[in-house]
Structure 1
Amino acid sequence: MADTEINYDDAIDYWTSTPATIDGVLGGFGHTSLPKTDVKGSLSFYNRVRSKYPEFDQSSNINKRALDVGAGIGRVTKDLLSKICDKIDLLEPVIPFAHQIPVELERANLSNKLGQIYKIPMQDFTPNEGAYWIIWCQWCLGQLKDDHLVTFLIRCKSALQKDGLVFVKENNTSTLNDDFDEVDSSVTRSDASFRDIFIRAGYEILHVELQRGLPSGLLPVRTYALRPIDR
């Protein structure tokens, strides 16, 4: 199994040595069309989920708080979640990235949207019960071993508000096999592997899409909207 080769210390060491910039967190693609294309696709996906699952957005008094998982320097919070949520907590274990988050949000005049910054690895983090309308996980779950990812997603279920959802946006392999990357000690999973993990964690997939328009040479990227089955 590719995920058994993941070493959490190696992953933290790699990302700590990476510049806390948009180019750093996006692997050198920060100044391409990737950021804008990604956010545009995510916002369109979110709007389609709202249309498909109206109870997700119907409560007038809901506290629309989000958790940005694997937040990096706050790119997804700044460009996406701040547009649709009242307050965002961010989970980022790489200390230089976590320290850059408030700087990025202040530059964008979004300090009022900043909640808590949790400098904790995903596998060690337990979110507060019933806290979140949206839990957004993007380009980070490959750092977790399969069993730890299942456990993390189970914890996320109890952290959702009524009718809240988990969103997962991740690279997929082009085959049925998962691939280990020794550079950052992560695994790229197939679509089938993600679906199996979601079932193991007790979720159903409300909607899934392949991201269009990314720069050539990148892996396929899929976004999944997940709803707990046992709610």
Structure 2
Amino acid sequence: MTSDLKGHDGEGREFTSPDELWQTSADADGGHNTWYHKAVAYWDSQEASYNGVLGGYGYTSDLDVRDSRQLLLKAMRVQLEAADKGQRQLVALDCGAGVGRVTEQLLRHHFHTVDLLEPSKHLLDTAAKNLSARTVPQPRGVAERFFCEGLQAHNFEAGRYDCIWIQWCMLYLTDADFISLFQRAAVGLKPDGLIFVKENICKDGFVVDNDDSSLTRSNSYMLDLFERAGVQVLYNMKQRNWPKELFEVRMYVLKPPAAAAASAAAAADAMQG
């Protein structure tokens, strides 16, 4: 259980549990708006480039995308094959989209439509500019909607997405918002839709970064939150050939809570009817 996990920040402070962290970082009203605003302010100050969003490790983008593509092709083989045959139009949502790197290098090559969700306006504006440029050859998909919003606040359109891709942004969510996210995201998925989470992972407990209001969790911490959210973990894989001085990165493929998925399917059917 997460209540048994200990953590620390880079300034020598120890936390006996995640609950202690969330209590001490809460605003007077019990919410965490200051926590979230600090994270957005940090990214507003970063360079709007691949190198900027990757913390100076821009060269890792190819490594990242290669393993992501392999997992995507494995987990969504049936859906992608149907798209290749012209039998299905696929839609994805890129969460924590930054300057559109994942959409540009991965998602738009496999999905017909990609929406982007990013709380930093200057990063999202760069993404829109980058993705409007014509390339040769043209990728399969286009970027359609750009949401300047955080994951903790976004309401998903019912039944729109085959894939919700969440990369390097779960670490900004409180545990409560981490769990509630999956109930909301499940509504946004088609009946056979999947959620992909790619995230930094520490060895034990959790590590707080006060500069950008982030929380790097251990694999066991992540799995506990997934269980509490009611999602099924289909894949749990380690990113390969990653720089040893960086946190390990893991990739998770998740099926949403059954009740929320059923509600999403019913909503989608009602819209089509």
**TM-score normalised by structure 1 residue count:** 0.91
CA contact (8 A) 2:186 2:257 kept: no
Are 1:18 and 2:46 an aligned pair?
A: yes
CA RMSD after TM alignment = 1.9
Task: Give the stretch that moved more between structures: 107-116 or 131-140.
Answer: 107-116
Equivalent residues in 2 for 1:50-199, closer than 5 Å = 50=76, 54=78, 58=82, 61-107=87-133, 109=135, 113-175=142-204, 177-199=205-227
CA contact (8 A) 1:180 1:188 kept: yes
CA contact (8 A) 2:231 2:257 kept: yes
State the structure with bigger RCO (CA 8 A, min sep 6), 1 or 2.
Answer: 1
Give the partner amino acid of 1:169. K
Runs of 4+ in 1 over 2 A off after TM superposition: 54-63, 106-112
**TM-score normalised by structure 2 residue count:** 0.78
CA contact (8 A) 1:56 1:163 kept: no
* Percent identity (aligned): 33
SS of match in other structure, 2:157 = coil
Structure 1 residues 126 and 72: alpha-carbon distance in aligned structure 2, compared to 1, 3 A threshold: same
SS of match in other structure, 2:237 = strand
- Partners of 1:47 and 1:119 lie apart in 2 by 29
Deviations 1:44-97 (A, max 9, x none): 11122235xx46855764331000000000000000101110010000110100
- Which runs of 5 or more residues in structure 2 are unaligned? 1-16, 26-31, 262-273
- Partners of 2:237 and 2:127 lie apart in 1 by 28
**Match in the other structure for 2:236:** 208
Structure 1 residues 107 and 55: alpha-carbon distance in aligned structure 2, compared to 1, 3 A threshold: closer
Structure 1 residues 108 and 200: alpha-carbon distance in aligned structure 2, compared to 1, 3 A threshold: farther
Deviations 1:175-198 (A, max 9, x none): 2x0111111110001111111111
Structure 1 residues 205 and 156: alpha-carbon distance in aligned structure 2, compared to 1, 3 A threshold: same
Q: How many residues align?
A: 226
